[in-house]
Structures are given as structure tokens and as C-alpha cells.
Structure 1
Amino acid sequence: MVLLPLLFYAQVALALVNWPQLSPRLTTVTRSQRDIAEEIPIDQLSTFGLSLNTLVFDKKGYTTDALDELPAMLAVGVQTFMLDLYWNEVTSKWQLCPAPFPGNATMDIAPKDLFWNGHNYTCGVLLTLGLINAWINTYIAGTNSNMDANYLQLLLNLKSIKFPQNSSQIYVPRSAEFASLGNSTLSDSVASLGSYIFTPRDLASFRNSAVPRTGSGAYYNRSDTRMPPLSIFLLNDFRRVLINVVSSDLDESSSSSYNISTQDRDTLFFDSTLPTVIDTADDNLYSSCLDMINGSDLTSSYSNVSLNTHFRFLMDGDDDLFTNETYMNYIRCGHSVILNSSEYVFEKQDYNSSQNHSVGAIWDYLLPSSYWSWAIGQPISGVNNTVLTNFTDDQPDTSDRELRAHCVALNPEGFVLSNCYDPFHYACQNESDPTDWNIPRDLKRRYFDAYKPGNCPDGYRFTLPRLSIELLALKARVVDDELPFPVWIDLNDITVSNCFVSGGPYAQCPYQQTVTRSQLVLMIAPSFVVAVVIIILIFMEKILRVTPIHTNRRRHWKHIINEYNEKHEYEGVPS
């Protein structure tokens, strides 16, 4: 029976072969949004996630089969997972099942029906936090590259399983194998994630380092709660997971309660070390969000949100669940949304009541609205499949206009691909305050001209919003100045299709070495010239070479050879 856990971990490892994938368009959206936010501290990023208890275990049971959809959730970009973790005061182990197993429980693969504190639960003994970590490790192994790495958060709610007096003995495990399941410390429970965990020690090391405060990240890191930018988190420190204990209902008065150790505090974050805001969606919050979206308070509200709050999580509930619209708006207001409602109502008629309980159906419905940057349906596939290498002053022919859609402009709905040659207004960002934008009222430029020096006022530069709050501030500026959309921002995929970069039309894709036509000519010209010269010399040598045997070749070469043989031919072996 001890082999049963090993079989499940082997299944997790083999799942990497058949790992689900995002569509090419959403893959581009996910990667480009991550790349443009690389300067932003991780506490300011807008992510999306769900409560595993409400949407998975409460519906499917606390069993290993309930994790079938976890690989798909990771693959489509779910970054935040909230999880209840229970301390069993009899076994002194952490477990996922909210109810204790009876003392006669064995390592049986079959789920067990349990009744505890007025609720019925279906629990499997093999479902542990270690199994969830194994799925996460498998996902990280398959995405641990500059192109695919992303930032995951595990939010833990600590709870106790407390027993009435004189009843705890019936829950003391009699099987040694069963008693060995689970971990007795929090740090051991997440130890299998290894060096992928971003720990409080890593944070202290970053804050004590001499990392220069430059770019947009410097603006958001002006307080003592300085956090590493996404690029340092992923690509310098090679971390992938942050584990945050967001609530604790542990009974500190009980002698059997769990005591947080120093090792725990060196591995996991607690509210005292990582200030976290977890709100529940309601009308007041949504009204404030709409004010930001509509630009009712132009600059101060955006700065206040970003400078005064960190890790802004927002959960829904059955009384105020997310719709497609509220979900998208909350993300654009800088919240990291967590699905926590047990019921969802879909606008599409093909979603019936039974499908509403499927996590896959929920993400099919909400995933297109999960990005603060791009408008839904963008970037449009099929219009950006030609690399631009020559930037001329002339507008291309009408037949070629669609192929020139390699530059990104801002519409009311978000980022959209546009014709690089179209003259639009362009966005200039304050170099010391990324929520302050200036748009020259009387000037319109093509993208190829907007990035050039001198187009923006002093103290401003042509760039793009790197955070949802910055995007809202830019849209509010356009509306307040009564200017038309679209507006150029500094983002394009000119050099490599679907690799969106900032820095003007010559910015290089970090994932692929690119060579323009002019560069290719410069690279091959010397070799080509040398090759031509060698060919000419060989040709001349063949034509002009003169030797006795060659001058007589056409008329009497046989005679010359015969005379030579008569004079020099020997019989026998020369002495």
C-alpha cells in the first residue's frame, strides 16, 4: 500500500507529456502582458485565480480525482490559488480534508464519506498538499524558460480541526502507514517546491541589495515595503511561487494547536511580513472601480491605489458573484480577482445548470476578459504575418495596408493592432510619475515618427502603460482632453511577428535573433565579394595558363608522350 502515493506522483510526472496549451493568440497576450510589466513590482500586478475549496473540492470531493482540472487551470494562466489547510490536533499533521479520518482508516484508494460539524464530506486519504505541489512542480518544469515562466501565488487559510472532550481517541490512527501521511510543519508541507519558492529571506536580501531603482518600478517602490520587479523575481532570482498565509483561525489557547516556527516564517509570508488586502466584491467597491475607469478623478486616485496598497485581492461570493463585465473591470482597476462563488450565470445559452459547476466552463467564459492590456479578440491573428524591414516615408498601397498592422494603439477597449503608417495622437508619460500622461493636442504622428526624440514635452517620453492603473490613467487623460482614439503607444511586433516589444521600430525581440535585409546584406557582402574574386581568378588561370604539354595538347600530344616514354622507359628493376 505504500506504493499508492508513488503511483500518483508518477501520474503527475507523466502528465507533462499531454499538458494542455493555450491558443496561440492567448499565448501571445499572456507573454506580451508579462513582458511589458517586467519593471513592475510583483505586489502591484493584477492576476486572476480561484478558491480550490469552493470551486473544486466542495463540488468534486476532497479526492485526487478532483485535481484533474488543475493542469488545465495552470496551463491557461491561472496564477493564484487559495486553499484551506487544516491542522489536525490529534494526528498533529496538516491535511486538506476539513474532517478528521477515523482511527481505523487505512491507505485505501477509495474515498471515504465523513460527517463533521454538521457537514458531509467525501475525502481521500491520498489528497495532500504535497500532491498539489507535485502538479505545480510539473507545470514549472514545463514552463521554466524566458518565454513561458510566470509568477504563481498560493494563498493559505489556516484552520484547526478541534475535537470535543473525550472523543479524540477514536480519531487516533492505528495504521502506521496512514499516520505517516501529511506533514507536521508548514515549511515541510511546501518543501517539495524547493528553490522555486520566493521566501522572506529572499525579500530581505532584495531590500538590502544595491539594485538600482529605475523605470516605472522605482515609482512604486518608494516605501519600506519595496518588492522585487517581475523581471528580477523570474529571470534573475529564478523564483516562481510566493506562498502567503492570508488568514489563521488556529486556536492558540489549545495545547494541541500549531505553533508557527522560525522555519515557517523563513519560508512562508504572513500578514505581518507581507501586507495583503483581501476584499469581497460589493456595490461600493464596484462603484469606485467604475469611477476610475470613467476617469472621474483623473490622477490622484490612480497614484493612491498603487502607492498605498499592496497585493490587492478581491473575492466574489454567491450574493455578489463576478459577471464577465465586473470581472474584467475589477482586473483593470488593479485587483487580483479570486473566483469564490459556488454558482455562475452565463450569458451564452449553451451553458446549462450542470455546466455551471465545471471549472473549465467558468474559464471558457471568463478567460478572454482576464487581461487588462489587450482588447478582447486582440491581437488579431492573420494580419501580422509579414515582418517589416524597410520604413519608408510613403504610405503603402491599400492592398498592403493590412500587412502593416504591426504597431499597437490604445482604444477604449484596450490595446489593438493598427497600421504603423496611420497618423494618430501619441502617449507621453511623465518620467517621474507613470500615472501622469501628456498627449500633444495638435500633433499626430505615424508610429515610425512618434518614438523619435523631441516629440514629447520636457520630462515626458513616448512609452506605454505597464500596469493596469497606468492604462486607466492614460484613457482618462484622452477622455479629459477630448481627444479621439486610437492613440499610439510604444509597442510593436515589427522585427518578429507576435513578439511585442517597446523601444521603437528597431527594438529587438528577446526570444529570437532577428536579421533585417540591410543587416543581411552587410553580413554576406564581404563573403560574396571574396567568392566572386576567387571564381574570376580560377577562370583566368584556366584560360591563361601556358605549359609545354598544354600548348601541344590539341595537335600532337600523343607524339610528345610517346617520345618521352621511349627516352625514359626502363626494363626490369633500376639499379
Structure 2
Amino acid sequence: MSLKFDPDDFLLNSSWATVLLSERDVAGQIPINFVTISAISLQAACFGDNKYERTAAGKCLSNLLAVGYRRFNIDVYWSPELWRWILCPVSIPQDLPVVTTSPDPTPATTAGVAEGTVTAEPDESSDELLYDLGPYKCSGGLDLSDLLDVFKDYFQDTNSGLVIYLRYLSLRLHAAADPTSADEPASTVASGQLPTGSDRVSSIVKDKLGSYIYDPSTLHEDRRNLNDSWYKVEDAYKPIVQYFTIDEDSQGKQSTPDGWPSAKYVQSAAERRLLVEYGSVDPQLGSYDLSEGNEDIFPLGYLTSPVPVSAANNGSLDFGCLYDSDQTDISKVNASWAISNHIPLPNNLSTDQSLSYISNLVVNLTTCGITSTLNNTLFSDTADNDPDPYRNLTLSFSWAWALGQPAVIPDDPNPSEAEDHRCAVMDLSYDGHWRTANCSQSRRAACRINNHPFLWSLSPNPASYSDAYTNACPEQSTFSVPRTGLENTYLYRHLLSQSSSLIDPTSEDQLKHEIWIDFNSIDVETCWVTGGPDETCPYTSDPDQLERRTVLVAAIAGIVICIIAALTLFVKCNANRRNSRRNKRVIQGWEYEGVPS
């Protein structure tokens, strides 16, 4: 029986769904290669205990999908003996004698096992045997197809506009070790033992998920003629053109050598949900031709641009941040597919210190325009056994809202004002993160210069949110909102460079530490949109969403529960931050105040 998307029930009511949805939507027109996402190693999150149980693996992946991880690094192993791509690093024995033992066998029960014999024990969650293969316990039925079945079921289960998110797979291909020498490196696989035809990775991926994949050939065709692809759809789906190079021929046909579509285009116009790349290939598989019969998978590292970074013991960046106050040209800020794959934990850290380091590092990398990958098994427990730490850590991947935001009710509740408390401000006293505010109050506004992602100015005079949208910004600039963590950092740092008579994060005067950004939920509570006070919620006509207002409000109401859980988890990690409202870190010579993690 194929594995299904079957997360723990309590995870399905994501208590911060509005945060995820609003950040997805505000970045919806940014080319996907410039949007930071949450990334995770399946090896660390699901198999960190070296147990490769089939049912547990399905539960683990389901939980990670449910809590919002977007990019998955997946290690698969070619076993010539089984003629399959398996998840276990060691081939499951076929010809060796197998001795079945009880779970957790004592030395006495295995003392009589002869050399060259493999022991196995029943998997308590299924009818399969778990083979003892050196340091690993492996289910004989767990393979690449099983994982893809979970993704397929997940895509089928989440098919409405409110819950669709792009996912990314980076497949790392290895050769499986021999079961008689599980601790030793795998041998080189002879050309005659390499997968062919329907057993190739590309064929398996296409068979399972082909209808959901945005593939290389589609990207190539879209790039060749933008007039008939990315420009031909509704304005809301078009990518922001300032992010890529555009060429135009004598007939007026535009093309791009380096552009990528926006998430809204891929999800809504192209109706795709997934991009897949080859992440790496073992030298033992050196003669395996990745290009043969490959239509759906991008070449090695095509969706990955590693950024070298260095971090201190508290998770602050010593170098590597893509923010540069002297450089605002997109072509000079190397943020395309920027990712930090792995930074080893510093030595001699306690559990709390390690978690604080990971959380702070994720915050800093995200605001610096870099996707970070979780390569650690949290609390030495996998996400099928205890998904809470993995869910709570995803708070650190959020770049826009301050902790506990967006709030439905103002800090000083007043029924007459509550209805107006649906506009967003960047609050410099909260390190440049956002919170909700009364739309009728007066503040200065964030103005984007000439549609440039990283160039900002400040409106000369305070105004209400509505007036900020219509006439507050100077010529050659428009009232706008940051759409990525890096855009947000550029605006935040620009504001901090202003005179203290205009901007002062420590001032009690709201005019000096809060500015309007073009983001509001005036139409539908908790449905956040950009485009001014008259912009409508895009989900009002979604036939798959019943009682949409109830669903959205219920999701945001649960944020308090999630925040309490996150603070409980990170109580020791955040001790220093609670001592002061503002906690500064140094990144490339300038101070950055990170969101509490």
C-alpha cells in the first residue's frame, strides 16, 4: 500500500497560517529565485536516529509538509541488488540468511548469529522487518517512490488558493553500501548495474509527480518569448521585471536569459506546484547519465547558489550577508537561489545554546536574503516522534511580522477603533518588523523609488493610510511594501540612516519609529493585500473555501497558542532578549536587531 499524506492531527490547524499566507502573497510576484524559503534535510529530520522505518518516514515527511517546510534535501541510494532507489544507505540483503529477533534484542539472543548472517526485527508500526545493517535499522520496503507518494497525496489534499505553496526537491544520489560491510563506503557501480528506463530517477519522478512539476523545458520556452508567457497572464501573476535581464528583438518580442517566473505565475497560471533539481551525485555513480531521458529535473545545483557565511556562537553573521548599503543594483547583489546549505554547530554548546544558535542563524540568514537549511535532528528526536520543535523553529523563517503579529485587536482595545485596526506599519522599535495599526492615524509612508527593489525614500509628511496611498510619496516613487526579507532589510537600514528628527526607534513618538507600508486587511479581516485601501481579498470567490472568514479568523486566533508554545520551547534561548526590548547583533559591520526566535 502506498504511503499517504498523514500528519499528526494537531498540526493541521496551523496556528500561524495567516503569517505564512500573507508572506506568500506579498512575495507572490517576486521571481522565485529571489524568495527565501524554509529548507530542511530529510536525513536529519526523519532519519537522524539511523532508523529507516517505512511508516515512520511517511509520518515524518507528512509532519514537515504540514508545518510549512518548503524545500527538501533528499538522499536516495541506488541498490543494484534490489534494482531500486532506496532511502537506507545500505542495500537490504537478498541472499544472506536472516535471523528474526524480538525488538531490542539482548546480546544473549544474538550471540549465536553466524558471520555473514543478518538479524532483523519486526517493525511495530507495520508488518515489515527492520534489518540490522551495521549502525542502521532499515525497512525493506522504503524507497524513493514512497516519498513521492506522500508528496502526490499532499498536492491532491491541498488544492485551494489558501493553502497552495511551491515545494522544491533537491535529490542527492548515492550508491548503497554492501550489507556485509555497512560501515564502509559503497563500491563503484558498474555501468551494467546502473538504473535504466523506468528505474531512472527522472522516470520515477515524472511518473509520480509529472503533472505538478514546473520543468526545465517549460522554463526555457517561457524565457524565449515573455510576450506569450509571463506577460500574457493577469497582472497579479506577472513577475517583477526589475529582478531579471530583458532582451528585445526588432519585432518587439522580449526574452530573458536569466529570469524566473513568480510563485503566483507557477501556481495559478501554469498550475504547477513543484520544482526538482539534482543536488549531488556520488562518484560511485560516475557513469550515470543524468541527462538521458530527463525532462522534469533541473541539472546539478540549478536551484542552488551556495553562499559562504561565517557565524558567531550566538548565530549572528560575521560575514556573508547579502545586504550592502553601497550596492542596490540587483545584478550586483548575488541573491539568486542564495542558500547556506550547512554551518556546523560550534563546539561545547548545550542543547539550549545549540537551538538558540540555529534559530538566530535562520533569522539572520533570512533577513540577509539567504535560505538556510536545517541539518540537525532537533533534541535528538525525529519529526515523526516529536514535530513540535520543527514546527516552532519555522517561526524563525518568518521575515515580515513581529512576534505575535498580525494582531486582530489593538493593544488598547476600543470597539470603535477595532474595525480600523487593519493596516500594517514597519515598527523600528521592533527591529524593522511589522505590526497592525489603526488605518486612520497619521504616519510617514515607505516609498519605493522607480519600482527598484532596494531603493527607498520616506514621505515628507505624515498621512493616514488612505492618503499615503494616494498622494504622500514624492515624484518618481510610490507607496509600497517590502516583498522579501532582503527588501525589508534595505528599507529598515535606509530608515535608520535618516536624521533622528525624522526617525528614532527609541522615541515614544510613533511618528518617529513607525511608518506605513502598503499592506492592509480592510476588506476581510486577516486577509492581507497590497494595492491600497480599496483592494479586495483574492479568496472571496474561491469555491474550495467555505466560511473563509471563519477559517481565516480561527487561524489567526490560534497564533497566541503557537507563540506560547514557541516561547516555552525557547525560554532559555530567549533569556537575554527578554532583558531588553532591543537586542543588537553585528552583521558585516552594521548592527541588526533580529526578530525573537
Query: Could you tell me the TM-score, scaled by structure 1's length?
Result: 0.72
Whole-Å separation in 2 of the counterparts to 1:16 and 1:58: 19
Shift of 1:369: 2.0
Is this contact kept in 2: 1:314–1:335, CA < 8 A? no
Shift of 1:94: 1.8
Structure 1 counterpart of 2:300:
271
Query: Could you tell me the TM-score, scaled by structure 2's length?
Result: 0.70
Give the direction of change, closer, same or farther, for the CA distance of 1:329–1:407 in structure 2 (3 Å limit): same
User: Where do 1:57-72 residues align within 5 Å?
Assistant: 57-59=47-49, 61-67=51-57, 68-72=59-63
Paired residue type of 1:220: Y
Paired residue type of 1:114: L
Paired residue type of 1:436: L
User: Structure 2: which 5+ runs fail to align?
Assistant: 99-125, 187-194, 246-255, 348-353, 504-511, 543-597
Structure 1 counterpart of 2:461:
443
Whole-Å separation in 1 of the counterparts to 2:395 and 2:7: 25
Q: Which segment drifts farther, 211-220 or 39-48?
A: 211-220
Structure 2 counterpart of 1:192:
208
Paired residue type of 2:515: V
Match of 1:204 among 220, 230, 240: 220
| Aligned CA-pair RMSD | 3.5
User: Where do 1:252-263 residues align within 5 Å?
Assistant: 257-263=287-293
Paired residue type of 1:150: Y
Whole-Å separation in 2 of the counterparts to 1:437 and 1:135: 43
User: Where do 1:69-88 residues align within 5 Å?
Assistant: 69-88=60-79
Give the direction of change, closer, same or farther, for the CA distance of 1:267–1:65 in structure 2 (3 Å limit): same
Is this contact kept in 1: 2:409–2:421, CA < 8 A? no
Structure 2 counterpart of 1:217:
240
Paired residue type of 1:445: A
Q: Is the aligned partner of 1:131 residue 2:167?
A: no
Give the direction of change, closer, same or farther, for the CA distance of 1:374–1:341 in structure 2 (3 Å limit): same
Structure 1 counterpart of 2:95:
104
Whole-Å separation in 1 of the counterparts to 2:153 and 2:344: 31
Is this contact kept in 1: 2:454–2:491, CA < 8 A? yes
Q: Is the aligned partner of 1:334 residue 2:369?
A: yes
Shift of 1:245: 1.0
Q: Is the aligned partner of 1:452 residue 2:470?
A: yes
Structure 1 counterpart of 2:169:
154
Paired residue type of 2:141: L
Q: Is the aligned partner of 1:29 residue 2:29?
A: no
Q: Is the aligned partner of 1:286 residue 2:286?
A: no
Is this contact kept in 2: 1:299–1:435, CA < 8 A? no
Match of 2:538 among 470, 494, 510: 510
Highest RCO, 1 vs 2 (Cα 8 Å, sep ≥ 6): 2
Give the direction of change, closer, same or farther, for the CA distance of 1:84–1:31 in structure 2 (3 Å limit): same
Is this contact kept in 2: 1:16–1:142, CA < 8 A? no
Shift of 1:325: 2.0
Paired residue type of 1:45: V
Whole-Å separation in 2 of the counterparts to 1:431 and 1:359: 48
Structure 2 counterpart of 1:380:
407
Shift of 1:511: 0.6
Whole-Å separation in 2 of the counterparts to 1:154 and 1:78: 11
Shift of 1:225: 2.0
Is this contact kept in 1: 2:339–2:371, CA < 8 A? yes
Paired residue type of 1:55: A
Q: Secondary structure at the match of 1:31?
A: helix
Deviations 1:494-521 (A, max 9, x none): 011111111111111111169xxxxxxx
Q: Is the aligned partner of 1:246 residue 2:279?
A: yes
Is this contact kept in 2: 1:84–1:158, CA < 8 A? yes
Where do 4+ consecutive residues of structure 1 move more than 6 Å?
105-108, 164-167, 213-216, 353-357
Paired residue type of 1:327: V
Paired residue type of 2:51: G
Deviations 1:461-490 (A, max 9, x none): 001111111111110111011322211001
Structure 2 counterpart of 1:492:
520
Shift of 1:104: 3.1
Structure 2 counterpart of 1:462:
479
Paired residue type of 2:263: L
Shift of 1:400: 2.0
Structure 2 counterpart of 1:537:
none
Q: Is the aligned partner of 1:237 residue 2:270?
A: yes
Structure 1 counterpart of 2:442:
423
Higher alpha-carbon Rg: 1
Q: Secondary structure at the match of 2:39?
A: strand
Shift of 1:111: 1.0
Q: Secondary structure at the match of 1:133?
A: helix
Paired residue type of 1:467: T
Is this contact kept in 2: 1:328–1:372, CA < 8 A? yes
Identity of aligned residues (%): 25
Paired residue type of 2:289: N
Q: Which segment drifts farther, 28-37 or 374-383?
A: 374-383
Q: Is the aligned partner of 1:122 residue 2:174?
A: no
Shift of 1:60: 5.6
Q: Is the aligned partner of 1:433 residue 2:452?
A: yes
